[in-house]
Amino acid sequence: METGRAMSVALALRGIRKTFPGVVAVDGVDLDVRRGEIHALVGENGAGKSTLARIAFGELHADAGSVEAHGTVGLVHQHFELVGRLRVWQNVLLGREPRTGWRIDTRAARARVTHLAQRNGLSIDPDALVEDLPVGMRQRVELLRELERDPAVLLLDEPTAALAPGEIDAFFATIEQLAHNGTAVLVVTHKLNEVMEHAQRVTVMRHGKIVEQTQIARTSAREIAQAMVGGELPAIAQRAATVLAPCLSIRDLRTAGAAGLRGVDLDVRRGEIVGIAGVEGNGQSALADAIAGMITHAGTVAFASPHTTVGIVPQDRAREALVLGWSLVENVAFSRFQNARMHAGPFVNFANARTDAQTIAQRFDVRAATLDVPVATLSGGNQQKIVVGRALVDHPEFLLAYNPTRGIDVGAAALVQSRLVQARNDGAAILLISFELDEILALADRVLVLFNGSIAGAFDGASADRGELGRLMAGGA
């Protein structure tokens, strides 16, 4: 890659500074992205990397500094910005449709999108409704929309957050092709394995500043991770020997719907973590909801005793777990009103709620100015620590954890994972549903692969083979 072409700078950021009320998001950053390179921009949540990308794109204005781009800049957002009720070609060409007179030339438009997709090796049906497409396809639409403008610089904000392993490989194949053809690519991410595998250079941000900038060949994932968190990574707690005892038993569980379950049997025993590996949309949500009693189902979900205590970490912390406008104390009380500790007659027992909130904040290193600020003001990582901490504060015998570290930074994720292992060591039965295979492999004593609503395979955690798991997750027999 070290050709002359690769050395010319396509995007130059100089002295970028951006403040939001109360925080300096980006603090004097210089960054070059060169033609033909894939440049990774990494950092923990709140390090300022997304803000920097939006400034480079022109979506935000920097308070100081300059942005110099040679050619157009395209940005693929982390949260897709598509119109679900429109077709693929309509989304790709939105606002730039070819016209004949005052009418949109649909034939030319379709041809243009089909050609664009073919040229970039992104097969897609231009007439599909975006709302009907799976996540991986939607991202293709988003990517095509940017490619349509033939950008010299392509910015990707957490592009693989919602993709399955197979989709991720296909995605990077496309990106590498683009880079090979001379596009300058900046990937904002927190997945270090992708950085190591696909990028040529990496820039690490922490607290709005660049703390490390180097060639991938001269660094390691561990060094990058340490630069991100600014010190040693917290090690995940060791699994200790435990006494297994029956806790949850699921037999022939079936639920309605396309992403439902088609006869699932599984057991979770106290003292073990059972990991459910699988690509999103293969029945994970139905499994979690059936256990939580949120949906009707056929078959049995039985706990060892009717008094088995249960903690739940739902998938979507902002929607399903927290009331964002409320404080940590209030959130700790609110989901546990069945617990006698949380009320005194008709009144909320704020004293006990505060004690528990303090315990959670301490055990999970929740960084909040006080326990009384609305949780909406906390970072996603801190919010997630609260959700997991709250699920564990009563020492439940069974814990359901659904993507417990999704979208949070490395340090917070390691802490949450450690607490899960400790709960297991203390005798909790844990069912871990995760879209991150690495997380399952790191934590689970046993691994079950969920595909199309059924268990496609069962493995011992220690001997599970990545390749074999990946094959089953993708539907291989």
Partner 1 sequence: MKSLMDRARGARGALGALAIALVLITAAMLVAGASPIDGFAALFAGALGGTHQLGETLVQATALLFPALGIALAFRAGLFNIGAEGQLLVGGLAAGALGANVHLAPALAAVIMLGGGALAGGVWGGIAGWLKARFGANEIIATLMLNFIAASLTGYLVAGPLKSSPAGGPETAPLAHAYWLPVLLPYTRLSIALLIALAIAALLHVVLTRTVFGYELRAIGEAPEAARRAGISLQRMALLALASSGAIAGLGGASIVAGELHRFNTQLSPGYGYTAIAVALVGDLDARWICVAAFAFGILETGGLAMQAVANIPKDAIHVIEGVIVVLLAARRYVAARAAIAS
CB of 335 to partner 1, least distance (A): 4
Q: How many CB atoms lie within 10 A of CB 123?
A: 11
Contact at 8 Å (CB) between 261 and 255?
A: yes
Sole window of 72-80, 174-182, 342-350, 418-426 interacting with partner 1 (rule: CB under 8 A) = 342-350
Q: What is the dihedral of CA 279, 283, 288, 290, to 10 degrees?
A: 180
Nearer to partner 1, 402 or 435 (CB): 402
174 near partner 1, rule: CB under 8 A: no
338 near partner 1, rule: CB under 8 A: yes
CB of 359 to partner 1, least distance (A): 19
Out of 323, 363, 394, 418, the only residue in the binding site for partner 1 (CB under 8 A) is 323
292 near partner 1, rule: CB under 8 A: yes
The C-alpha atoms of residue 97 and residue 453 are separated, in whole angstroms, by: 41
319 near partner 1, rule: CB under 8 A: yes
Fill in the DSSP letter of residue 255: -
CB of 425 to partner 1, least distance (A): 27
- C-alpha distance from residue 383 to each of 89, 331, 332, 409, 477 (Å): 38, 10, 12, 12, 39
Nearer to partner 1, 12 or 301 (CB): 301
Radius of gyration of the chain (CA): 24
294 near partner 1, rule: CB under 8 A: yes
The interface mask with partner 1, positions 373-412, x = CB under 8 A, is xx-x------------------------------------
Fill in the DSSP letter of residue 96: -
157 near partner 1, rule: CB under 8 A: no
Binding residues among 248-287 for partner 1 as defined by CB under 8 A: none
Phi/psi class of residue 108: alpha, beta or left (left: φ > 0; alpha: ψ in -120 to 50)?
Answer: alpha
CB of 226 to partner 1, least distance (A): 31
Sole window of 30-38, 46-54, 313-321, 405-413 interacting with partner 1 (rule: CB under 8 A) = 313-321
346 near partner 1, rule: CB under 8 A: yes
350 near partner 1, rule: CB under 8 A: yes
330 near partner 1, rule: CB under 8 A: yes
Out of 320, 365, 394, 436, the only residue in the binding site for partner 1 (CB under 8 A) is 320
Fill in the DSSP letter of residue 83: -
The C-alpha atoms of residue 225 and residue 410 are separated, in whole angstroms, by: 8
Greatest alpha-carbon pair distance for the chain in Å reads 76
Contact at 8 Å (CB) between 396 and 60?
A: no
Q: Where are the beta strands (DSSP E) in 90-200?
A: 99-100, 103-104, 153-157, 184-189
Sole window of 100-108, 186-194, 324-332, 358-366 interacting with partner 1 (rule: CB under 8 A) = 324-332
Contact at 8 Å (CB) between 313 and 168?
A: no
Residues that bind partner 1 (CB under 8 A): 292, 294, 312, 314, 316, 319-327, 329-330, 333-338, 342-343, 346-348, 350, 372-374, 376
